[in-house]
Amino acid sequence: MGITVKRLSYGIGAEVLGADLTRPMSDEAIAQIRKAWIDNGIVLIRDQDITPEQHIAFSRRFGVLDDHSALFKYRHPEHAEIFIVTTRPNADGSPSNTRETGVNWHSDMSYTLRPAMGSLLYCLEIPEVGGDTQFANMYLAYDTLSNGFKRLIEPLQAVHTYAWAIHDTEKGRNPEFAKAHIAVNPPVTQPMVRVHPETGRKTLYVSEGVTTHIAGMTHAESQAILQPLFAHAVRPEFTYRHHWRLHDLIMWDNRCAMHKALRDRLPGTHRHMHRTTILGEPSGALYQEAQ
């Protein structure tokens, strides 16, 4: 059976049918999946019982993979290309270091000078109820702004910082652990309006999970602009909520989509995922606070 594509929602996303990631795929099939991904922001491929090696091999067909040096504490012990996102307790019984990962809206690695192009998240364990992920279309978020707001934000740069993305629970539980990650991820500035390098379309590029303020403004001044944008970007009609099934793989385009993990699991149940990350184009600059 050949590959077919089916829309997932009005706002964002498509499901790819007929793909088998356990077998080598032709360049033509990869091109079809890539087109679906570029056209729809995210693609879902269900029922893929794959190994880490197969996950990595498929991901490499779309670009150069990150070794997650910016997230070094969370890497797979045998495969640096895989970032483990899990709510399972650690071996010593302590809470997982990634149990709160991604619970606020964000675009992967926007706090670095080479934000992620794509992410491929693979489901290895999901509770019977909950563990959902939401996605938002940042093309629609930009397109539906008033012309006046577009003119206001077009020239502005926003500050993105990993320190903002780390939750208080992690800071308090292991401050040295958090400090080590922050040291290799200093704040950066990114354009608030980003042009997608492949489609040429403009996209809103701020997120509540990582954006702290606007460069050249105070935090208080920035909120008058950022808070309306944060709320606007995730209007229900721009979003898709995914109910995971075992062996689902979702690939999303971080240049035009945001996502967040929901805290909707039943107590005592867990969500365990492997993620590969496709490196994107250099973007932004190190942030130098005005004196």
In this structure, the strands spanning 116-125 and 249-253 are antiparallel
137 in Cβ contact with 257 (< 8 Å): yes
Q: Are strands 14-17 and 42-45 parallel, antiparallel or unpaired?
A: parallel
Reply yes or no on whether 39 is catalytic. no
d(C-alpha 24, C-alpha 257), whole Å = 28
C-alpha angle 110/272/181, rounded to 5°?
A: 40
Angle in degrees, CA 166, 256, 253, rounded to 5: 80
For residue 216, CA distances in Å to 151, 185, 210, 227, 287 come to: 17, 21, 17, 17, 10
Helix (H) or strand (E) holding 135: strand 133-137
* Residue 106 is among the residues annotated as catalytic for this protein: yes
The span from the CA of 11 to the CA of 41, in Å, is: 10
Counted residue by residue, the chain has a size of 291
259 assigned to active site:
yes
Selection from 159, 207, 155, 208 nearest residue 187 by Cα: 159
Q: Are 125 and 278 in contact (CB under 8 A)?
A: no
**Which one is catalytic: 55, 68, 108, 253?**
108
Q: Which of 55, 194, 242, 259 is catalytic?
A: 259
Place of tokens 């050949």: 2
Is 201 noted as a catalytic residue in this protein?
no
CB 135 within 8 A of CB 239: yes
Cα dist. 146→109, 149, 251 in Å?
28, 5, 30
Catalytic residue ranges:
106, 108, 259, 275
